[in-house]
Structure 1
Amino acid sequence: MAKSSNELLVGVEEEFHLVALDSGRLTPAAMALLELLPGDRYSAELQETSIEAHSAPWAELGDLADDLTATRRTLIGTAEEQGLGVVASGTVPLGEVSGCVVPPVPRFRRMHDLYRTLAGEQLICSVQVHVDVPGRDRDLAARVLRRLAPWLPVFLALSASSPFWRRSDTGYASYRSLLWQRWPTAGPPGSFDSAAEYDALVAELVAQGTILDPGMVYFDVRPSSHLPTLELRVCDACPRVDDVVLLAGLFRALVRRECAAVEEEFRPVRAELLRSATWHAARSGLGGPLIDPATGRPAPSGEVVRDLLTGLRPLLEDAGDWDLVSSLTADLLERGDCAARQRAVHARGGSLRAVVAGLATETRG
């Protein structure tokens, strides 16, 4: 679809776990499955227990939802023919590190050689949202990172879907985010005044041998390494397409607002406080307080989410997204985050296998 006169295109990359239908356990089958799938929409991940799907870029959120639904339908149908289930969540309760298989991709093999256990325990999945940068201006993309950063923990809380790790309840709503934070470039972005400054940092990290290439810059939000977009990377994978569309709609509006305000005075939040806010979101999801970006103090999660929504209303209305995004926000706040739903199944006497089955059902939609 062509870009509308007042809107930025938005696209999504979703990562999915592959599980055995009979046991719910992670299964390393991605490479075999990729041979049966369209090559332009699906790709390998760092472990053969997961696979990535890519949407096209869209101006309308309804079109994005249709695209994501169709891409999932193809993946799930193909997987089920092979006795596999597909799960969109940060972690799967029945994942075991001993079942790891590295895809025969040279870059992934190099990552495993360099990062060892860190790469071997990458049994996690996320969803990434790409939004066009106005004018495809890379300087603007670098400069706006500091303005986006305080709101990113709210996106993590909305997506929290990983309370279980290796058969245990971790006590966190998003344990995936804690596992992810171990990578040397993961976490809140720094403050940059230009694309050249950002690129120089990336080049120095590569020169030091800390990362293999610019694609390994894992900031919570970053200028994409291969597209003219800003990329939201903080979120857990979400079993419901509606929740992915909500993240996309909110992030696009936030990008529009902060890019328009980039020349206004802004005091960047200290990295330590950004990490603190991210930890609070990972710990509680929507089930406890979040750090309010406006005050720097804990506040009820629903209040912080609604403040974000209200602040973005003019942008959402201008894009024609308000009715959909406000409705999806209300629905998510009413039912609670995915981590809470998983724990509810388990608390009712359901096995971890039942938790996985519920996630697969939600992913199927």
Structure 2
Amino acid sequence: MIDIESGQLVPRAGAVLRAVERYGDTFTGELPQSVVESNSKVHETLDGLFADLTTTRARLDRAAASEGLAVVAAGTAPLARLGSVPTADDDPRYARMTGDYRRLADEQLICGVHVHADVPDRDTAVRAMCVVAPWLPVLLALSASSPYWLGADTGYASWRTMVWQRWPTAGPPACFADAEEYDRVVGELVGSGVISDPGMIYYDVRPSAHLPTLELRVCDACPRVETVVLIAALYRALVADARARLAAGEPACDGNHAWLRAATWRAARSGLEGDLVDPVTRRPTPASAVVRGMLRRLRPVLEAHGDWAAVRSLAEEALARGSAAERLRAAAAREDLFAGVDQLLADTRGRSRPAARQPRPAAKARTTRRDGRAAAGAR
């Protein structure tokens, strides 16, 4: 939730949630009071998912506008201040997390996109987890949208990843033989007192605790709906490909995930603008080559779903446009960081950002942006 005049992250999610109550559980709260979680329906087609996300964002944007706010779908808000966004105080679980994790909870000013893919049972979910895990840094790179933290450029494409990985169970998952072993490990972690419930297993991919799905959790929230659709299609194909390989008797994984944490760091650092760690060779390789290698691997599954043409087009467009992080930096370099916020807002709304306009005096009693424009007239 962004204040439309100052461009700052604000703890106003509650007001927006009250404005969208009629949509049921489509919109829910989160740990920080600056975030609204938006939930799509289940879809079999990419067109259906695109339409759902576009409609949902428009509804949320209208509700936010009625409160003098705007919605940004990004891993971090470029303009934010520590201490200005409290955690949710009306949820006992979040209250406990705030007390237990202190600074981690206070600094949880981040936002991700999660994708659920159907699986027939938990054993399949757990075994497929190891097969898909090496490819998740590629999806992270495609989503990277959080180069700024508290108004400063971090040098990372996804600083959200670096904030997120401080939690005790975040990061690449270990390998498990079946659901029984996975559940035993989760039980041990809960029993240790370090986490309070299975929902605090924050692996980059995990069996859902309440749905028959395997859940992707590694990605930044994405300004463009097209990026979300691309990631969802690739992830569904990765899960389907993993199931097929397991059914054919292929080994799930070599059990060595030390390189995978490094690959995740590399994706967070570089996004699409540098090298990634190729999951096949485990050597530095240009991001474009790694993305196209993943497309080749998944082409049979994508064709079976009828997604090949759309995914190939969306992937090539993503490579040509560059990551959201790089586009944000470019907008900020051309003008300033407020212009970068405008870029994110326009992408979240599915519109092109207006060309820069000449400075004009701010209206009386309105906060004037640093570039001299009246913020309310900048969009």
TM-score by length of 1: 0.93
Deviation, 1:95, is 1.1
After the TM superposition, which of the residue ranges 203-212 and 150-159 deviates more from structure 2?
Answer: 203-212
2:280 matches 1:280? no
Could you tell me which amino acid in structure 2 is paired with residue 283 of structure 1? R
After the TM superposition, which of the residue ranges 208-217 and 264-273 deviates more from structure 2?
Answer: 264-273
In 2, are the aligned partners of 1:146 and 1:268 still within 8 Å (CA)?
no
Q: 4+ residue stretches of structure 1 with deviation over 4 A?
A: none
Give the equivalent residue in structure 2 for 1:298.
284
2:11 matches 1:28? yes
Give the equivalent residue in structure 2 for 1:345.
331
Could you tell me which amino acid in structure 2 is paired with residue 162 of structure 1? S
User: For 1:32 and 1:344, how far apart are their aligned partners in 2?
Assistant: 33
After the TM superposition, which of the residue ranges 31-40 and 328-337 deviates more from structure 2?
Answer: 31-40
Change (3 A) 1:267 1:224: closer
Deviation, 1:53, is 0.4
Give the equivalent residue in structure 2 for 1:140.
124
Give the equivalent residue in structure 1 for 2:155.
171
Could you tell me which amino acid in structure 2 is paired with residue 220 of structure 1? D
Deviation, 1:269, is 5.0
Q: Name the % identity.
A: 53
Could you tell me which amino acid in structure 1 is paired with residue 28 of structure 2? S
2:168 matches 1:181? no
Give the equivalent residue in structure 1 for 2:366.
none
User: For 1:356 and 1:106, how far apart are their aligned partners in 2?
Assistant: 33
User: For 1:206 and 1:341, how far apart are their aligned partners in 2?
Assistant: 41
2:193 matches 1:209? yes
In 2, are the aligned partners of 1:150 and 1:269 still within 8 Å (CA)?
no
Could you tell me which amino acid in structure 2 is paired with residue 299 of structure 1? T
User: For 1:209 and 1:323, how far apart are their aligned partners in 2?
Assistant: 48
Could you tell me which amino acid in structure 2 is paired with residue 40 of structure 1? D
Give runs of aligned pairs for residues 230-309 of structure 1, distance below 5 A: 230-262=214-246, 263-268=249-254, 270-309=256-295
Runs of at least 5 residues in structure 2 that lack an aligned partner in the other structure: 351-379
Specify the structure having the higher radius of gyration (Cα). Answer: 2
User: For 1:317 and 1:55, how far apart are their aligned partners in 2?
Assistant: 24
Deviation, 1:201, is 0.9
Please state whether the residue corresponding to 2:113 is helix, strand or coil.
Answer: strand
In 2, are the aligned partners of 1:286 and 1:333 still within 8 Å (CA)?
yes
In 2, are the aligned partners of 1:302 and 1:333 still within 8 Å (CA)?
yes
Please state whether the residue corresponding to 2:214 is helix, strand or coil.
Answer: strand
Q: 1:50 aligns with which of 24, 35, 55?
A: 35
Give runs of aligned pairs for residues 318-337 of structure 1, distance below 5 A: 318-337=304-323
User: For 1:266 and 1:98, how far apart are their aligned partners in 2?
Assistant: 44
Please state whether the residue corresponding to 1:222 is helix, strand or coil.
Answer: strand
In 2, are the aligned partners of 1:243 and 1:332 still within 8 Å (CA)?
yes
Query: For residues 195-230 of structure 1, what are the alpha-carbon distances to aligned partners after superposition, in whole Å with 9 as ceiling and x for unaligned?
Result: 011111111111111111111110000001111000
Deviation, 1:270, is 2.0
Please state whether the residue corresponding to 1:87 is helix, strand or coil.
Answer: coil
Query: For residues 300-344 of structure 1, what are the alpha-carbon distances to aligned partners after superposition, in whole Å with 9 as ceiling and x for unaligned?
Result: 100000000111111111111111111100100000000100110
Query: For residues 109-137 of structure 1, what are the alpha-carbon distances to aligned partners after superposition, in whole Å with 9 as ceiling and x for unaligned?
Result: 1100000000000000000000001xx21
Tell me how large the CA RMSD over aligned residues is.
0.9
Deviation, 1:157, is 0.4
